[in-house]
Structure formats: structure tokens, C-alpha cells
């Protein structure tokens, strides 16, 4: 797909034409991956972070957020929960937290790989090559690092570098690939300053990077962030991409067309949108779901109020997702 074709789909508003896009994406998903919907557990192992990202409630200046870091025992409970749900893989996610020690995590990854059939995806930010190497040797399969936007100026505005560390995430993704990881990345749809051209370029990059996992979701303003106060300063005016469900559907469908066999979760980021949204995107190219397995005690520490705070809600959510999967004539895959 060319840049102008992608951009033209992003600007398309005719419902009939868009249905052809969604049908193409659904067929591409079916041809490449079949009827199964994979289940990947998402376990937040720490919400400490040293970074100042303008859009993220986890930024290090947010004093209102109560921070946690899971113990090995708590992580192991999450592993058991993932196995109970029939997860194929587990994402271990955190902010950029250097309290998550290289060797400590390596022994945990090794234990998961030795004692369970789970694939392990890490999403821990911009760590050192030595960290990445050790974790890969311990058995980690995949690393998820969102490049957020292909617009370098916008990226550095919303995602300031740490002093003396100017890291290019695209370069880092290449290094992760060279180390033998499958690589995942993604963007937020409609972040202030995102234009149709940059979004089209983002989708082209998904193809060029040959991503194994693509995480996309609509931008949501979070309290206690700089963008909560100043989003309008970055707004791209008439060229600004809306942070809407409709635009996210288009981006997921186009992502499927540029990467037919990639894992594209319907609900990875941000979690817990309206359940009807997932019903739709699972027919527009998405092929997996990612229940949140973070322990209840910590889940409710999120101050933005968008995250369900009880296991009852999580279980109900998962049950609803399972019903949606069945209603679509699809099956929940329970093997790697």
C-alpha cells in the first residue's frame, strides 16, 4: 500500500467504502491466522517510571499516583491466572523502572519458560542492550516498544529524552530484532499534533519494520499530565487526526493489511474501552484479546479512573469478550 492510498483511507468517510476496507482486513486476518482469537495476559509488574512523557499518568512527576512493584510471588500468581484463562502468552509490563533488576527478572523469565508453555513478551521501556541480551537469553520471546509517532519533532515534544540519553526507538527495535526477539510496537491514534500524513507514515512503518505485534488504541487524556492542561497547544488544526473509535478502526484495518500475520490485539491499549468497540475491531483485523491480570490491589492505584478496580469487573469483562468471540463464530485459542 502506498502512502497516499493509506492516507486516502484515513480520510475516507463513506460508510460503504469503509465496509470494503474492513472486509479486506478481516479476510487478510482469516487467511493469515485463521479463526482463532489468541489470549495474551497483561501483567503490570511495576508502575514506577523515570520518564516525563507529557501524555502519561505514570510520568515521574505525578505525585498523586501510588506506585507499586510486584514481588516474585505476586508475579507468579499472575502467571497462574494466565494459565487458568488459557493464555498463550504473557506480557510483563512496567514503566521505565530500573528497580526491575536485570538478573532478578532474568531468573523469573527462566522460571516461566521452564515451568509453563507461556510465551513471554516484555514491555519495560528503553533498557540497556545488556538487559535486553540477558532477558533474551533467559527465554523472553518478544519485546514491545511503542515508537508512538514517526514525527520526530512531535515524539521529542511528548516523550522528552533523559539528559544525555537520546535514544531512537526505531534503532532500538532493530537491535531487539537482531538479538532474536520478535518485535512489537504501536501508536496512539489522535494524539495532539498527529496529522493524517504522520499517521499514514506510522502505518507504513509497521510494514517496513515487519512488526510481529501492533498495538494501537485511541488517545485518551489522562489527569495529572501536561497534555491534560495543554493539549490545544499541540493541536494540528484542520489536519489533526481525531482520537475516535472510527479512526482507530481504520488504523487497525490498515495495520492488518500492511502486516497480515502480525498479532493485533483488539484491546491492548488503552484497555477497557466500551465492549462494543472490541466487538467491532475483532471483525476489522484484530486477532487477539489481552485480559488485565494485574492484581486487584494495584489495579485500583491508577488515578485516571479508566481501569476497572475489581476482579469481579475483570471477570465479567473477560466473560463478555468470550461471548463476543463465540458470537462471531470464532474460537479462543489456548495453545501457543
Chain residues binding ligand SF4 by CB under 6 A are 49, 51, 53, 56, 58-59, 95-96, 125
- Rounded to 5 degrees, φ, ψ at 165 are -125, 90
Helix (H) or strand (E) holding 294: none
Rank residues 148 and 267 by Cβ distance to ligand SF4 and give the closer one: 148
Count of CB atoms situated within 10 Å of the CB of 73: 7
Rank residues 28 and 49 by Cβ distance to ligand SF4 and give the closer one: 49
- Smallest distance, ligand SF4 to C-beta of residue 311, A: 24
- Smallest distance, ligand SF4 to C-beta of residue 144, A: 11
234: its cell numbers: 499541540
Rank residues 59 and 280 by Cβ distance to ligand SF4 and give the closer one: 59
Rank residues 50 and 328 by Cβ distance to ligand SF4 and give the closer one: 50
β strands within the chain, DSSP E:
36-46, 89-94, 119-123, 142-144, 182-189, 213-218, 288-289, 331-333
Rank residues 67 and 111 by Cβ distance to ligand SF4 and give the closer one: 67
- Smallest distance, ligand SF4 to C-beta of residue 93, A: 9
- Rounded to 5 degrees, φ, ψ at 142 are -145, 150
- Smallest distance, ligand SF4 to C-beta of residue 59, A: 4
Strand partners, 182: 142
- Smallest distance, ligand SF4 to C-beta of residue 49, A: 3
Rank residues 53 and 120 by Cβ distance to ligand SF4 and give the closer one: 53
Give 171's contacts (C-beta < 8 A, 6+ positions apart).
none
In 3-state terms, what secondary structure has residue 257? helix
- Smallest distance, ligand SF4 to C-beta of residue 48, A: 9
DSSP-assigned letters across all residues of 197-224 = HHHHHHHHHHHHTT-SEEEEEE----TT
Helix (H) or strand (E) holding 172: helix 169-178
Amino acid at each position: 500500500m502506498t502512502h497516499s492510498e493509506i492516507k486516502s483511507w484515513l480520510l475516507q468517510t463513506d460508510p460503504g467504502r469503509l465496509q470494503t476496507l474492513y472486509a479486506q482486513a478481516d479476510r487478510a486476518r482469516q487467511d493469515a491466522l485463521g479463526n482463532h482469537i489468541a489470549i495474551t495476559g497483561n501483567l503490570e509488574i511495576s508502575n514506577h517510571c523515570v520518564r516525563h512523557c507529557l501524555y502519561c499518568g505514570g510520568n515521574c512527576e505525578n505525585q498523586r499516583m501510588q506506585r507499586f512493584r510486584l514481588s516474585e510471588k505476586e508475579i507468579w500468581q499472575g502467571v497462574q491466572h494466565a494459565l487458568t484463562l488459557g493464555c498463550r502468552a504473557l506480557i510483563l509490563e512496567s514503566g521505565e523502572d530500573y528497580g526491575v533488576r536485570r538478573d532478578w527478572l532474568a531468573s523469573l523469565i527462566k522460571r516461566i519458560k521452564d515451568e509453563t508453555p507461556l510465551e513471554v513478551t516484555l514491555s519495560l521501556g528503553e533498557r540497556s542492550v545488556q538487559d535486553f541480551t540477558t532477558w533474551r537469553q533467559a527465554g523472553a520471546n518478544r519485546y514491545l516498544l511503542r515508537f508512538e509517532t514517526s514525527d520526530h519533532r512531535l515524539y521529542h515534544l511528548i516523550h522528552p529524552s533523559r539528559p544525555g540519553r537520546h535514544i531512537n526507538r526505531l534503532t532500538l527495535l532493530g537491535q531487539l530484532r537482531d538479538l532474536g526477539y520478535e518485535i512489537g510496537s504501536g501508536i496512539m491514534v489522535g494524539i495532539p499534533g498527529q496529522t493524517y500524513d504522520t499517521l499514514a507514515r506510522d502505518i507504513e512503518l509497521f510494514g517496513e519494520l515487519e512488526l510481529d505485534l501492533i498495538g494501537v488504541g485511541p488517545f485518551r487524556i489522562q489527569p495529572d499530565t501536561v497534555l491534560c492542561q495543554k493539549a490545544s497547544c499541540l493541536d494540528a488544526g484542520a489536519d489533526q487526526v481525531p482520537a475516535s473509535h472510527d479512526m482507530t478502526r481504520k488504523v487497525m484495518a490498515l495495520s492488518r493489511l500492511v502486516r497480515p500475520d502480525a498479532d493485533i490485539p483488539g484491546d491492548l491499549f488503552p484497555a477497557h474501552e466500551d465492549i462494543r468497540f472490541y466487538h467491532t475491531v475483532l471483525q476489522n483485523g484484530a486477532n487477539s484479546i489481552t485480559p488485565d491480570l494485574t492484581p486487584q490491589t494495584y489495579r485500583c492505584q491508577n488515578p485516571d479512573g479508566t481501569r476497572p478496580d475489581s476482579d469481579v469487573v475483570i471477570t465479567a469483562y473477560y466473560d463478555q469478550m468470550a461471548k463476543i468471540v463465540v458470537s462471531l463464530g470464532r474460537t479462543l485459542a489456548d495453545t501457543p
